[in-house]
Structure 1
Amino acid sequence: MRAAAPSAAEPGGLPAPPGLSADAAPVTTAEFAALMAPLGPFGPAPCLVAGVSGGPHSLALALLAESWVRCRGGVLLAAVCDHGLRPESAAEAAGVAAMLAARGIAAEVLTLRLAPGGGVQERAREARLAALSELCAARGAPWLLLGHHIADQAETLLLRALAGSGAAGLAAMAPVRPAATALVLRPLLGLPPARLEAVVAAAGLAPVRDPSNTEPRFLRVRLRAVLGDPGGVGAATAALAEAAGRFSARRRQVEAAVADRLAEAASMHEAGFARLDLVALGQDAVARAALGALLRAVGGAAFAPAEAAVAALLARGEGTLGGAVLRRSGLLLRESAALAPPVPARRGALWDARFRLAGDAPPRALFGAAGKAARALPRPAWIPAAVVPTLPALLYDERLAVVPALAYPSPDIAARHAVFFAPHAGAVA
């Protein structure tokens, strides 16, 4: 953002537009830097992607982030998603990209082409995050910025409470969350939307207003109406955000305990399986959370299975849950029957929500499971025989071409077609 000259009221930042109250003054560049600081370290010349819908809050994020990254010699790419759900959406997305480009912010339009139908907001959110994640991988950007604010946090807590979420879910959105290809950062979570709208107004930009944000058939919109005070932070929004913060602190304590337990009782392997010492793991709440995290990673799931189901699996000591199989030996591996079908092999392709192809691939090759045929191949001692059919492989004319984990057909060829473990929520340490 090309910041205006500092004013007495706003040192180092943009002056408030005429008629704007003090509590809705624009977020300053210094404030944004302070919000970003605990989300790092970023190092020199950071490369970031920002999700920008064209609405006022994501536009404010792009403006603030551009100023922040430019001062550090880095690069910001604004990603504008066109969901394709309205006839005018393509033109709106192109207009947003052009508006950003005019401000010196590089922008790229991602066309999602969602099909109409039920659960459209949830499907749109998942498709948007998947596309943004793919873009981060393609551009080598390890950070993805999102523009959620304090009212979004309050609404998220209510939505999760109504859905029956436990304490971890009621922590709502985290300011930092690991994903498969990048860290998801939400630096604006503590700010009222009015201050973000003020940033856009001060920059003289006209945001895009998505009509679905006022459509009462969506639960989030109805909750927003109940909370009231859409521009600032009313008492209800502030209380809910504070509750989310307390649940978040509790979640951090649990996560620290889980990390300690995993360090003592489990090891996660790059071939997508884990080994557990079931005695050291235990049967308590920390053990349930730890096993849930491992099941999520090995199964490639967006969320861990329900705690009651994890507790039952622990009590049995073996079984199948969440697309993973636990054996009495402590081996936790992907369930063969749940493996995703092969996908076209191309650099950056993600298969089974767990493995990403980092190297090259032959033309017309597929990226999928090695399958039963791989059992005949030599394997290193650290890979159990049961894991071999679930390993990622390149397939050509339905035959095994490359199995990187087995260095097949040769170490040199396997190295050129490198694959790395990239589960949906990030690998478990």
Structure 2
Amino acid sequence: MTTLPDRFNGAMDTLLPDPPQALGLAVSGGGDSMALLHLASGWAARHGCRLYVASVDHGLRPEAKGECALVAARAAGLAAPHDILPWSWDGRGNLQDRARQARQDLLAAWANARGITHVALGHTRDDQAETLLMRLKRGSGVDGLAAMAPARTAKGLTWLRPLLDTRRDTLRAHLRSLGWDWADDPSNDDTGYERVRTRQAIATLGLDVDRLAETADRMAAARSVLDNAAQQAAGALVRQEHGDLLLDRAGLSALPADTRDRLVAAALCFVGNSAYRPRLSALRSTLDTARATLHGCVLVQGPDQLRICREWKAVDTVTAPAPGPWDGRWQITGPAHDGLETRALGPVGLSQTDRASWLVPRDSVLSSPSVWAGERLIAAPLAGFNPEFRANCRALPPDWPATGDAH
């Protein structure tokens, strides 16, 4: 009979046929991630891979410090360095969404600082089933109902989920056999959270977790087919011009509705530097409008092309040292001097440029990166102002517009 460690090792070997020198683990102290810690330590030892462990303390519960200490003690016993990543909520936005995004940002920064390229997470088969039902309740389509991917790339890292075929109860039984403790977060019983209500509904209604997870797997297969159709269309209909995307209007109108929606949504995500698609109703309404704003972008219908560019108001407060990266897509190059910063050109900067030198239309120039010294404009590459500085936009990935995994 195949043991849990054997199954875990097989999953990791499939995900990482060429193991990295170091592997990061996100461990909260809960049963799933504590089991991940133990199982990953065995796999890493087999491959000579160094383990690094991180726990995010959201600053929301006093018990969190003890949970981090529990993780630290187990990590020390495995000779794995452990770091605690603190976060505090500023009271704005949805707490769960903000905490989830902060967790990913903190882990990504931690991994980059450690030179780690792969981080493993403790999501289980139960998580697959719960996510499917939550998305179904919201009326999600194929993309929303598709299973979480075992591996995905985001924020410059590869995120791994080697436990997606493993049930939560199996992991806890494994920990009991080791004599390992884990922390039970009280929020796991708080019906104020949608996931808790969903988990309880699965038990109350007698739903089969494995069947739900299999449905999510089938949705992922369907999404792959739809993504492939969008990729084929993108190659024929989409062109990148500096930071803008240009879509052939006639070709776009001739596409099946799902392919058209998928293509435009992906274009908005790329230009708007967003991981999440806009609402379908909002997207479709903009396609019937000569000029519209959506998802941090401006959509302008020309005679032959739909142009999608960044919206100036979405980036008017985004600043970064110059030269260097800006707004997640741009790289500014040029001579370095103290006090220089990159920000959107905006109306004030635009008034200092010559329209005849613009490389793109007004909306695009307005939101384009420019270099400033205080209130003095130094360079505006897309406006043809000062050739000492250049602005290079990240190119579309080869597999664009594959949706990947946003869970």
Cα 1:397–1:204 change in 2 (3 A) is farther
Instruction: From 91, 105, 114, give the equivalent of 2:80.
Output: 105
Cα 1:94–1:325 change in 2 (3 A) is same
* Superposed CA offset, 1:71-90 (max 9, x none): 44444322210000012323
Question: Following the alignment from structure 1 to structure 2, what is the Cα–Cα distance between the partners of residues 48 and 309?
Answer: 41
* Superposed CA offset, 1:15-34 (max 9, x none): xxxxxxxxxxx621x32232
Whichever residue aligns with residue 326 of structure 1, its letter is L
Question: Following the alignment from structure 1 to structure 2, what is the Cα–Cα distance between the partners of residues 176 and 107?
Answer: 23
Whichever residue aligns with residue 387 of structure 1, its letter is S
User: 1:16-415 to 2 correspondence within 5 Å?
Assistant: 27-28=4-5, 30-40=6-16, 43=18, 45-115=20-90, 119-228=94-203, 235-268=207-240, 271-282=242-253, 283-284=255-256, 285-316=258-289, 318-327=291-300, 328=302, 329-339=305-315, 341-343=317-319, 345=321, 352=327, 354=329, 366-372=341-347, 373=349, 376=353, 386-393=363-370, 395-400=372-377
Question: Following the alignment from structure 1 to structure 2, what is the Cα–Cα distance between the partners of residues 427 and 151?
Answer: 30
Whether the 8 Å contact between 1:404 and 1:419 is mirrored in structure 2 is no
Displacement of 1:48 after TM fit? 3.5
Whether the 8 Å contact between 2:41 and 2:78 is mirrored in structure 1 is no
Q: Secondary structure at the match of 1:312?
A: helix
Whichever residue aligns with residue 309 of structure 2, its letter is L
Cα 1:50–1:378 change in 2 (3 A) is farther
Question: Following the alignment from structure 1 to structure 2, what is the Cα–Cα distance between the partners of residues 410 and 347?
Answer: 14
Whether the 8 Å contact between 1:391 and 1:405 is mirrored in structure 2 is yes
Total equivalences in the alignment: 392
Cα 1:338–1:257 change in 2 (3 A) is same
Q: Secondary structure at the match of 1:223?
A: helix
Q: Secondary structure at the match of 1:141?
A: coil
Consecutive unaligned residues in structure 1, runs of 5 or more? 1-8, 11-25
Whichever residue aligns with residue 161 of structure 2, its letter is R
Displacement of 1:307 after TM fit? 2.4
Whether the 8 Å contact between 2:124 and 2:164 is mirrored in structure 1 is yes
Question: Following the alignment from structure 1 to structure 2, what is the Cα–Cα distance between the partners of residues 213 and 354?
Answer: 38
Q: Secondary structure at the match of 1:84?
A: coil
Q: Name which of structure 1's ranges 102-111 and 32-41 shifts more when overlaid on structure 2.
A: 32-41
Cα 1:380–1:195 change in 2 (3 A) is farther
Whichever residue aligns with residue 200 of structure 2, its letter is A
Question: Following the alignment from structure 2 to structure 1, what is the Cα–Cα distance between the partners of residues 333 and 84?
Answer: 24
Displacement of 1:92 after TM fit? 3.0
Give the structure-1-normalised TM-score. 0.77
Whether the 8 Å contact between 2:316 and 2:346 is mirrored in structure 1 is no
Question: Following the alignment from structure 1 to structure 2, what is the Cα–Cα distance between the partners of residues 205 and 422?
Answer: 47
Displacement of 1:383 after TM fit? 5.5
Whether the 8 Å contact between 2:27 and 2:34 is mirrored in structure 1 is yes
Cα 1:410–1:314 change in 2 (3 A) is closer
Cα 1:32–1:276 change in 2 (3 A) is same
Displacement of 1:175 after TM fit? 2.3
Q: Percent identity?
A: 33
Q: Secondary structure at the match of 1:330?
A: strand
Displacement of 1:150 after TM fit? 0.8
Cα 1:90–1:33 change in 2 (3 A) is same
Whichever residue aligns with residue 256 of structure 1, its letter is N
Displacement of 1:235 after TM fit? 4.7
Whether the 8 Å contact between 2:26 and 2:119 is mirrored in structure 1 is yes
Give the structure-2-normalised TM-score. 0.81
